């Protein structure tokens, strides 16, 4: 069965350079690359000062660029017909629409942070599936950021990419995607604590198992209302509980919240944060029974308390476990997107076939599968 191909990094870099030269009639000065991500545990916890445990994917975005002196920014993509063009001095909130906002937003944010960019031609190319909940937008931002400022501190770049996403692209997201795209190391998951801003590399020993991601191909949008309204509910819960963030709330006090919806939202966040620590421990000892139970609870919490799952995500999770996965849950922002499963190597084919067959039976779009080999964070060359 076919997996979505991440492509060969050397070939991808050469291709983006060649396409750049063809598009702009001049060689690129540098190429940045940054990965998509899949999160193992901790959903909608980042903007609540909580914990997350993402892994970088082998699927990446490449960004080729050269500085110019004409004060203009041009953004082109090998995946899109249209090119965005405007004056760098005019960049700012509400200045750019659509996918180009993620790239143009980084140019704006880096300039805001004091990086000198008088003008810039950009061309991007990506193997990260778009709208699949696998952070294609952060991969784009971070590829542009490392291309333009390869020597800058990675946290400064993460901050610029987060500003691009929240202030220019208008997606009120939390920061997990940019951190892992910039800081991940091969073979490791990245434990991020959004209260202390600490990051810890967590070695992932998946011997005999495959990290299988299934894109349900129900496209998710973080700029429509669902994500923002969850975030607003969490802030309301923290306000009512008189804590700075839900990281500081206990399950007991959450259960006292009067509004039923706000209570369920807060319950998801508080229980999900505790599942991240538990998952780190269970993964460290390859306790697949415990990992499976944590994934099961996390999915149920997102389905019932946070209400961000879909019939396709629910079906993919149930069927994966029935067909032999030791653990499965939806991953990412929700309202579509992907599931992540840990599958014994000799059951992977069976799991993919079973999910595909169920999707046919249910009349869903055919899903796409990819292997999430824990990969490296961004680099430039």
The Cα–Cα gap between 254 and 233 comes to 13
Which of these, 319, 311, 310, lies nearest to 358 by C-alpha position?
319
Packed helices 154-163 and 136-148: angle between N→C axes, nearest 10 degrees:
130
Q: Which stretch binds ligand GLA (CB under 6 A): 42-50, 99-107, 209-217, 351-359?
A: 42-50
Which listed residue (32, 105, 333, 374) binds ligand GLA by CB under 6 A? 333
Q: Which of the stretches 171-179, 195-203, 346-354, 363-371 binds ligand GLA when contact is defined by CB under 6 A?
A: 171-179
Q: Is 43 in the site for ligand GLA (CB under 6 A)?
A: yes
From 39-47, 98-106, 147-155, 358-366, give the range in contact with ligand GLA by CB under 6 A. Answer: 39-47
Residue among 120 and 222 whose Cβ is closer to ligand GLA: 222
Q: Cα(5)–Cα(13) distance, rounded to whole angstroms?
A: 15
| Span from 11-19, 38-46, 86-94, 317-325 in contact with ligand GLA (CB under 6 A) | 38-46
Contacts to ligand GLA from residues 216-235, by CB under 6 A = 222
Whole-angstrom distance, CA of residue 259 vs CA of residue 332: 26
Phi, psi of 266, deg, nearest 5 = -65, -35
Ranges within 112-141 binding ligand GLA (CB under 6 A): 135
- Kindly give the pairing relationship between strand 72-77 and strand 327-331: unpaired
The torsion angle over the Cα atoms of residues 191, 193, 169 and 135, rounded to 10 degrees, is 10
Question: How many CA atoms does the CB half-sphere of 347 hold within 13 Å?
Answer: 21
CB of 86 to ligand GLA, least distance (A): 25
Does residue 32 bind ligand GLA (CB under 6 A)?
no
Cα 338 from Cα 367, distance rounded (Å): 9
Smallest distance, ligand GLA to C-beta of residue 332, A = 5
**Given 177, 215, 233, 305, which residue is catalytic?**
177
Chosen residue from 177, 233, 305, 356 binding ligand GLA by CB under 6 A? 177
> Which residues make up the interface to ligand GLA (CB under 6 A)?
39, 43-44, 46-47, 135, 173-177, 222, 332-333
Residues marked as catalytic? 177
């Amino acid at each position: 069965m076919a997996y979505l191909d991440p492509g060969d990094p050397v070939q991808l870099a050469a291709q983006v350079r060649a396409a750049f030269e063809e598009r702009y009639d001049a060689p690129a000065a540098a190429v940045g690359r940054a990965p998509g991500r899949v999160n193992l545990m901790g959903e909608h916890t980042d903007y609540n000062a909580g914990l997350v445990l993402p892994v970088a994917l082998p699927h990446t975005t490449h960004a080729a660029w050269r500085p110019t002196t004409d004060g203009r920014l041009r953004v082109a993509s090998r995946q899109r017909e249209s090119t965005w063009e405007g004056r760098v001095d005019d960049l700012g909130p509400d200045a750019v629409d659509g996918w180009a906002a993620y790239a143009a937003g980084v140019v704006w944010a880096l300039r805001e942070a004091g990086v000198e960019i008088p003008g810039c031609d950009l061309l991007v190319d990506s193997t990260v599936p778009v709208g699949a909940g696998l952070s294609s937008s952060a991969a784009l931002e971070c590829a542009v950021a490392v291309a333009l400022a390869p020597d800058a501190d990675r946290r400064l770049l993460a901050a610029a990419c987060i500003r691009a996403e929240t202030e220019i692209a208008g997606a009120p997201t939390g920061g997990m995607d940019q951190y892992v795209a910039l800081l991940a190391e091969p073979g490791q998951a990245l434990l991020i604590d959004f209260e202390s801003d600490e990051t810890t590399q967590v070695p992932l020993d998946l011997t005999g198992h495959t990290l299988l991601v299934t894109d349900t191909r129900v496209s998710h949008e973080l700029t429509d209302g669902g994500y923002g309204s969850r975030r607003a509910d969490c802030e309301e819960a923290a306000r009512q509980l008189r804590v700075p963030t839900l990281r500081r709330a206990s399950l007991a006090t959450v259960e006292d919240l009067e509004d039923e919806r706000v209570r369920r939202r807060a319950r998801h966040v508080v229980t999900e944060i505790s599942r991240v620590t538990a998952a780190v421990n269970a993964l460290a000892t390859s306790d697949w029974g415990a990992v499976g139970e944590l994934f099961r609870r996390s999915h149920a919490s997102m389905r019932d308390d946070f209400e961000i799952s879909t019939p396709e995500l629910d079906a993919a999770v149930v069927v994966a476990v029935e067909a032999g996965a030791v653990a499965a849950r939806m991953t990412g922002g929700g309202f579509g997107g992907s599931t992540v499963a840990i599958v014994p190597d000799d059951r992977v084919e069976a799991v993919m076939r079973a999910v595909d067959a169920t999707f046919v039976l249910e009349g869903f779009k055919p899903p796409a599968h990819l292997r999430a080999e824990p990969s490296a964070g961004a680099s430039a060359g």
